[in-house]
Amino acid sequence: MSIARIVVDFTNVHWTFFNPLRQWLCDFYNVAFYVKGKGFKYCVRVREGKYWAYLSYQLVYARLARKHTLRLECPPDSLV
């Protein structure tokens, strides 16, 4: 058995936390922020060599609110 990906969901995360975090990641790693129509609405993909992480926020079907789910996905090697 091997672990291909680790997924951590944080619930009730304020937009006022996610938005500055997203902006910092985009500026620091020079990555694009995009909006999707399936799964999570806001996504950021960060790649650094062979390491990567996906940060996703707000499930598409969630009602309008200021708190939503924040998901972090990455392979175990990227956590070092």
The answer to whether residue 2 scores a pLDDT higher than 80 is yes
Structure confidence at residue 77 (pLDDT): 86
Closest by CA to 10, choosing from 63, 55, 60, is: 55
Token pair, residue 60, equals 């598409």
The answer to whether residue 36 scores a pLDDT higher than 90 is no
- Give the DSSP H/E element, type plus range, for residue 39: none
Interval 3-27 mean pLDDT: 93
Please, which pLDDT band fits residue 71 given cuts at 50, 70 and 90? very high
Percent of the chain with pLDDT over 70: 99
